């Protein structure tokens, strides 16, 4: 079954040697379907980026205190991204309040790549 990415799509992708990780689409594919930004969620530690810390109740997959790994925010190019989604477990979309918190964090974090920040800011300004 083909899954169309949308802002807020949450998915678990398993890569060899890395394990399962939750990713969230934070750009709007309706504005640019060829370049899609997704961020990963990682277990929280005091040494990690504290811009967006998540609690267990924030999403069904968050099982312990976690944070957004903005340093790994990246562009996915179509059709490669759709093939990733088709091999992933799709979860419930991220609710708008949390999604807004994550996007705001992406714009604020010193760890978010500058090209990702500029791309997201341009989408917001539209």
What pTM, to 2 d.p., does this model score? 0.92
CATH 2.40.30.10 fits 10-125, yes or no: no
Q: What is the pLDDT of residue 108?
A: 98
What residues contact 65, with CB distance under 8 A and at least 6 apart? 43, 44, 53, 54, 55, 56
What residues contact 76, with CB distance under 8 A and at least 6 apart? 35, 36, 37, 38, 84
Domain residue spans of the chain: 10-125
CA–CA dist 116, 80 (Å, integer): 18
Q: Are strands 35-43 and 53-54 parallel, antiparallel or unpaired?
A: unpaired
User: Tell me: the pLDDT tens digits for 68-121?
Assistant: 999 999 999 888 888 889 889 998 899 999 999 999 999 999 999 999 999 999
Assigned token pair, 11: 């998915």
């Amino acid at each position: 079954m083909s899954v169309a990415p949308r802002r807020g799509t949450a998915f678990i992708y398993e890569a060899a040697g890395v394990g399962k990780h939750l990713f969230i689409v934070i750009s709007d594919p309706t504005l640019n379907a060829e370049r899609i930004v997704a961020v990963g969620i990682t277990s929280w530690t005091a040494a990690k980026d504290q811009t967006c810390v998540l609690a267990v109740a924030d999403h069904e997959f968050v099982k312990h205190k976690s944070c957004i790994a903005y340093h790994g925010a990246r562009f996915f190019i179509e059709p490669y991204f759709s093939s990733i989604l088709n091999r992933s477990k799709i979860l419930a979309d991220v609710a708008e309040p949390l999604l807004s918190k994550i996007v705001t964090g992406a714009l604020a974090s010193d760890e978010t790549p500058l090209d990702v920040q500029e791309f997201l800011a341009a989408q917001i300004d539209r």
